[in-house]
Chains A and B, each alone.
Chain A
């Protein structure tokens, strides 16, 4: 059995090596190394901050400062780690279904896949550096044997976070793949929204205040983030020098991690043995004629793109995840912004949401053709204008992104007391203005560096490292460009300058996008062999 596992490890290593030594592999390798090099200093920066916080918490030796720091650090890391894993991470997992034929226990294959995903993921080093920062801060504050327990806590926390994230991925995949569950989720969301609105309407003259007062009851929800909560509990005792009292928390963390891992594996195995979606039927016929009234080729393209996007588990995940993050920010962070901070600062959460919505959907605009798989052949076999194809992809994605952004912004603004009114218009202008730049440059990346993308959210390998790096550069540059008017608006103390500038930038971007599209379409035609080889595995 050991030999079979070794063979499996060798297989993955060889496949990775082949990919790195194949055409375009060098650039891919450089991109991975660059991401790694970026992750280390960024991680170090945050590790120093976390280390300093931990140093203070340990020196305080208990009390409010210790409790608040431990809770903030562990819940903060858990939240970011999980959000990145579920949305932006480019981890490559093992497709369990492909390995069921081999005489290797599937549990080991699954475990190996999780471990290999961590080793091959440049972002993973970031979390390791953060945890090392905590340990270093604690060691400087109070050297001693208790650090062994802290190291164990950090290891258990990391394992529990990874296993819980895997479980959440499996649960999301199951929920989003099952029509009945989706329908129940929709009904639940509608009922919840009605209940919230009813509560607000029936409350006193200050409904938002009443809602804010009801929030403590929601603190129970912190146990959704149990790896962070349990780790924080153990850390509070350890920092205060009560090693013995931390043990139940550590045992809880280990047991929780084990249970999450077992459940994640059981769900993965069930899914692998289910043989797909079990005859899922497509729907939406009645709505079709209303939504896609355009006759002919363009209407067909828009319809196909819309259906592909809306049936994609990743798109559905972002459709849920981005509003949830907006709710976290809206209810958790935004009310804590000091009243005396400037209008621009108070507008930052909403403006950030506009950028984050684009960022979360980057897999779709940076690898626009990767989802076509075998269907990509049709793009070249049919008398299709490939420029029209890119335009349809971008337009449909923009409409989806706009819907997700609008929903998330509404949730973010629900508890807001201080977001200035102009920020709504500015955020809409920012979201719309950035789109032509991101999509235009994304088309170029999609054509030059495509990759067959997985439809399973458990294996979110939708972007090659090089495209991920290019995306980082594109989002940073475009954000930089759109940050320039902020300086002007601050100097002139006129928010309307911001809206006008972003709209103007958007118009320029749209003009450039339209100018670039024919060239990108020509490039798509010229690169058909490489693209088919990478997207369909079509090696002629």
Chain B
């Protein structure tokens, strides 16, 4: 059973392909790491799969439903932490979680109870009454994860969930996600630049480069003998040489006129 399946999924911007002929297969219950260098098409793919972008061509099935026929039923079954987050900054953290839960169809009491539990689990309980606009970036990421989980989704989309947050928070989120996947409670589709973290988390990997899927399979199949980082660099290009020139860097005053 596949949680996500795409065939020839493509998206053009101004006639140029950002994603081209993508054939993804994400098994149910998998922890799927979707990797690629900057501008490879990861976020565009995630946006198409979550309904934020219309595909230019191709099909996508999420939880067995063709996205072209999606009428909101799939949205209730997925949770998303999008790139740039999706938070109402003038609500408090606890209001954000509860109202988010209600928007996904939970009743007020259930949403309120789950919001309190999530705030505890995400170590935000003391900050629950503060407006989201006053949260640090890491706190917003954690709150966003809470929002994505509050309605008990079957499939979780996480776009760069570890970007800009400290090691302690990364460790906490990682533990929580591993536990949920191990329980068989959900499938996770995650993009990240932090390859060491991804390697310790995922069961399956897909690598996208210049809009095309260049590798896909279980973690062991894709990385073969080496580490994931070595495999990744080998597939998308060699390590680039250090900057030539820039001799003014480190010079007294940096060369700026005083």
A376: chain B residues within 8 A (beta carbon): 86
A-B contact pairs, 18 of them (CB 8 A): A3-B257, A278-B134, A280-B130, A280-B131, A295-B108, A297-B102, A297-B103, A299-B102, A300-B102, A304-B91, A304-B99, A373-B89, A381-B52, A381-B80, A382-B103, A383-B75, A528-B52, A538-B52
Q: B51's closest neighbor in chain A, by CB? A: A380
Q: Which of A303, A381, A529, A537 has the most CB of B within 10 A?
A: A381
Question: Which bracket fits the contact residues of B?
Answer: 35 or more
**Given the complex of chains A and B, what is the CA–CA distance between A276 and B132 in angstroms?**
11
Which stretch in A81-89, A255-263, A305-313 binds the other chain?
A: A305-313
Instruction: Give B65 Cβ to nearest chain A Cβ, in Å.
Output: 13
7 closest Cβ contacts across the A-B interface?
A: A300-B102, A282-B92, A377-B86, A375-B88, A383-B75, A383-B72, A378-B86
**Main secondary structure on chain B at its contact with chain A?**
mixed
| A301 adjacent to chain B (CB < 8 Å) | yes
A279 to B86, CA, bound (A): 20
Residue on B with the closest CB to A538?
B84
Task: Confirm or deny: B1 has a beta carbon within 8 angstroms of a beta carbon on chain A.
Answer: no
Q: Which listed segment binds A: B20-28, B42-50, B208-216, B237-245?
A: B42-50
- Taking beta carbons and an 8 Å cutoff, which residues of B are in contact with A? 11, 13, 18, 43-44, 47, 50-54, 72-73, 75-76, 80, 82, 84-92, 95, 98-100, 102-105, 107-108, 111, 129-131, 133-134, 147, 257
Min CB distance A14 to B, Å, is 21
Q: Do B51 and A276 have beta carbons less than 8 Å apart?
A: no
A296 at the binding interface (Cβ < 8 Å): yes
- Determine the residue in chain A with the shortest Cβ distance to B106: A296
Whether B82 and A381, one on each chain, are in contact in the complex, defined by CB atoms closer than 8 angstroms, is: yes
- Give chain A's interface residues, CB within 8 Å of chain B: 3, 276-282, 295-297, 299-301, 303-304, 307-308, 311-312, 372-378, 380-385, 455, 528-529, 532, 536-538, 540
Whether the Cβ atoms of A304 and B88 lie closer than 8 Å is yes
B90/A374 in contact, CB under 8 A = no
Give the residues in chain A near B147, CB-CB below 8 Å: 378
Distance in Å from the Cβ of B171 to the closest Cβ of chain A? 26
A528 cross-chain contacts in B, Cβ below 8 A: 52
Contact between A377 and B134, CB atoms less than 8 A apart: no
A312 touches B90 (CB 8 A): yes
Q: Is the CB of A374 within 8 A of B87?
A: yes
Q: A383-B72, A529-B54 are in contact. Are A296 and B107 (CB under 8 A)?
A: yes
A303 to B130, alpha carbons, bound, how many Å? 17
Beta-carbon contact of A383 and B43 below 8 Å: no
